[in-house]
Amino acid sequence: MAEGLGRPGRVAVPRDRENDYSREAAAMRREFAQEHTGAALEHVGSYSFDPAVLAGNIEHFVGVAQVPIGLAGPLLVNGEHAQGEFYVPLATAEGTLVASYNRGMRLLHEAGGVTVTVMDDHMQRAPSFIFPSAREARDFDGWLDEHFDEIKAAAETTTSTGRLQEIERYSAGRMLYTRFNYTTGDAAGQNLTGKATQEACRWIRANNDTIEHHFLESNFATDKKSSTVNMLHTRGKRVIAEATVPNELFQRVMRSDSRLMYRARQISNLGGFMAGVNNNGAHSANGITAMFIATGQDAANVAESSAAYVYAELRDNGDYYFSITIPSLIVATYGGGTGLPTQRECLELMDCYGAGKVRKLTEIVAATVLCGELSLGSAIVAEEWVDAHDAYGRNRP
């Protein structure tokens, strides 16, 4: 039975109370949209999977956004979890993007591959606690140390995979801001940490009567926002990708030069510093977004995940060492959108679907980003950037 009731004057999107995840329910909403807007959703309504699989992933389902997927590779990764060659799916509508990453992958394949290291792994929820004065807040800081084991036990009653590692504390006025740091297995973990921290806060409130009030999230986890605290302390995976490229390869493959690349890197560092950026690299958001869409990640996490530190060295022999540190890469190989049919296929393409694969995916994403940084940097140095967009991109006549 369709439902579309609301206040007078407001026409709600219809729902089917008995089975809202069906082709019929989706068609009903497309007809509703056409009736009220005049737009026919012919392509939106063309999809291959059963809408029944979407419960928990979408509401008011009408169809799909078909984003083109290109394949780049082979990407040669020398990781601790990802080892060997991979072909990387990139979902994008930006011309030249796949070609650019593919070119960077060729360069680094000939250079011996990308070495990738996962340095840390944390997901946060950040409750704040309010006290009568700063003195009670100071005492609570010590109380958390004394009762960490009980707090950890309470939090972990809600999850089979999440583990509370530590509680950071930051005082201001009569508040104590905290960051509950968890490992979350193969899930991204935002919902997991919320549920676990809520249970931990219930235990804390039941056992500490000095707290006037608390908020489960104080904005100190900076969910879906880049921040200095997460760049320094990690949110998601902290991962470093690095490679050393001989000058001969820059000249032959990229028509550029390692010395000019290094000089451009210095100019870029200063320009970024002057602009106040959170990323002194070129375009990490491009590759990360394209991989996130293809593999069913939460695309809004690009806000945090694309922040990066780039470091380069020009060696005495002309070799160019280049690294990118991504301090807040939030990825999953289980849960969320990763199990949807097309997204699962893209993960399976890299052998990254399911349990035990999240660090492998982390390393592949970071290696891909490094390839894109060197490719775009070379195109700028060789003055091929605009020409490439004219030839392959959106500036077509």
Each residue's pLDDT tens digit, 232-255: 999 999 999 999 999 999 999 998
- Give the span between the Cα atoms of 175 and 132, in whole angstroms: 9
Of 311, 326, 329, 308, which Cα lies nearest the Cα of 243?
A: 311
pLDDT of the residue at 397:
47
| Cα distances (angstroms) measured from residue 192 to each of 52, 100, 123 | 24, 37, 9
Record the pTM. 0.93
If you write DSSP's letter for every residue of 58-125 in order, what string do you get?
-SS--------EEEEEEEEEE-SS-EEEEEEEEE---TTHHHHHHHHHHHHHHTT-EEEEEEEEEEEE
Instruction: Give the span between the Cα atoms of 187 and 330, in whole angstroms.
Output: 9
| Cα gap 74→70, rounded to integer Å | 13
Residue 390 has pLDDT above 70, yes or no: no
- Averaged pLDDT for residues 24-32: 95
Q: Which of 110, 156, 217, 298 does the annotation list as catalytic?
A: 298
- Predicted pLDDT at 9: 81
On average, the pLDDT of the chain sits at 93
Tokens of residue 142, six digits: 């010590």
Amino acid at 19: N
Alpha-carbon dihedral sign for residues 199, 302, 104, 88: positive
Contacts of 195 (CB under 8 A, 6+ apart): 158, 159
Closest CA to 105 of 79, 85, 90: 85
Question: How far apart are the C-alpha atoms of 214 and 166, rounded to whole Å?
Answer: 19
Q: Quick one: 394 exposed, middle or buried, by C-beta within 10 A (0-12, 13-18, 19+)?
A: exposed
More confident residue, 72 or 5: 72
In which element (H, E) is residue 129 found? strand 128-130
The string of pLDDT tens digits covering residues 79-124 is 999 999 999 999 999 999 999 999 999 999 999 999 999 999 999 9
Q: Identify the pLDDT of residue 250.
A: 92
**Main-chain dihedrals φ then ψ at residue 250, nearest 5 degrees:** -60, -45
Q: Which of 114, 34, 43 is nearest to 73 (CA)?
A: 114
User: Which structural domains are found in the chain, ordered by start?
Assistant: 15-66 (no CATH), 74-121+237-391 (3.90.770.10), 127-215 (3.30.70.420)
pLDDT higher than threshold 60 for residue 174: yes
What burial letters (b/e) apply to 73-88, b meaning 16+ CB within 10 Å? bebbbbbebbeeebeb
Cα 329 to Cα 206, 240, 285: the distances in Å are: 35, 11, 11
Respond yes or no: is residue 109 known to be catalytic. no
- Residue 304 burial (CB < 10 Å; 0-12/13-18/19+)? buried
The residue annotated as part of the active site, out of 16, 31, 81, 94, is 94
Of the CA atoms within 13 Å of residue 172, those in its CB half-sphere come to 6
pLDDT at residue number 393 = 60
Token pair for 122: 């944390």
145 is annotated as an active-site residue: no
CB-CB contact of 158 with 195 (8 Å): yes
303: which 2 tokens? Answer: 């806000």
Q: Are strands 83-91 and 69-78 parallel, antiparallel or unpaired?
A: antiparallel
Which pLDDT belongs to residue 4?
A: 53
389 is catalytic: yes
